[in-house]
Amino acid sequence: MPAENRGLRVTRAVAAGFDGHAAAALHPDLRTFTADLARPYGLPLREDLLDAGAGHDYGEMGAALLERALPGGEPADLLILAFSSPDVRPAAPASLRLSSHCPGQPTAFAVCDQGSAAAFTALRLAAVHHRTGGCRRAVIVLAEQSALHHEAPEPVDLPAGHRAVVLVCEDAPGEGLRVHRQDQPDGARALRSVRDEHRRLGPDAGLLLSAALSAHGVPDGAEAARPGQPFTGVWTLLADRLDARRPLLVADHDRRLGLLSTLTLP
C-alpha cells in the first residue's frame, strides 16, 4: 500500500502593526554598530532618527504575535525570522529570542539580505525541513520596521510603519506549499509570468500580488497589497485571505535584485 502523501501547509496567519518605538532604538550600541557599517561606504548617519530613538525591535514585534498565532500553546519544531530592513538590535539575534518565547523552543535562525525574496526562502526552507521528517509545525516570522539609521546609497522603498506577520505551517495530508524563484529584472515581464502561473492553477485559484507587482497592473480577480509595506504587505493580505478551500498564488517582485518569487498554496 503506498505511503500517504503529506506536505507542509500554511494553516494560520496573523498580522499587526506596531506604534511607537522600542527601547533598543535608543541604545548607544545601535549608533556604534551603524556607524561601523556605514563608514567604509562614506554614508552619513541619520542623526535625527538616532536621537529620536526611531525604529522597532523584531524580537518584541514577533513575540507579541506568537501567542495569537499559537493560542493553544502548540509547540513548534522550527522558527524562521525573515526580514529585509535592518533590526534595531543588531547584536542580539532576534530569532533566538523568539524561540524562547515560542512553545517548544524550536530550532531557530534568520533569513535576510534577499530583499522581498527572504520570506519565500524561509517558507522553502521550512518545506525542505519538513521533508526530513523532523518538522511537523514551523513558524515563519516576517518583520519590517521603518527606520533606516544611515543615508541610503540609492533610492529605496522604506516601510511606512512597523509591521510583523506570523505564518504557522503544519504537516497535513496531500500536497504541500510550493515556492518558486526566478531571475527577472523587468517588473512587467514578471507580472506576465505570474499570470501564466496563476492560469495553470485553474479558474478557482486566488492571486495575491505585492504592491511592487501591482504597479504593472492587476489582473482580473487578483488582489493587490496596499503600498507602504514593501516586505510584509502581501503577507498581511494573505493573513486576511487565507482560505483552505481554494488554491492561492502569492507573488512578489524585488526590482533592485531582479527576483520574482511565488508561493503556491494548494
Walk along the chain (266 residues) and give the pLDDT tens digit of each residue: 345 789 999 999 999 999 999 999 999 999 999 999 999 999 999 999 999 999 999 999 999 999 999 998 899 999 999 999 999 987 778 999 999 999 999 999 999 999 999 999 999 999 999 999 989 999 999 999 999 999 999 888 899 999 999 999 999 999 999 999 999 999 999 999 999 999 999 999 999 999 999 999 999 999 999 999 999 999 999 999 997 678 999 999 999 999 999 999 99
Longest Cα separation, the chain = 67
> Are 6-173 and 178-265 the same fold in CATH?
yes
Domain 6-173 CATH (choose: 1.25.40.80, 3.40.50.300, 3.40.47.10, 1.10.3210.10): 3.40.47.10
Q: What nine digits make up the cell of 150? A: 544611515
Q: Note the pLDDT of residue 62.
A: 97
Domain ranges of the chain: 6-173, 178-265
First to last CA, the chain: 24
Q: What is the pLDDT of residue 244?
A: 62
pLDDT score of 4: 72
For residue 72, what pLDDT is reported? 87
Indicate the CATH number for domain 178-265.
3.40.47.10
Quote the pLDDT of residue 93: 87
Neighbours of 183 (CB within 10 A): 8
pTM: 0.95
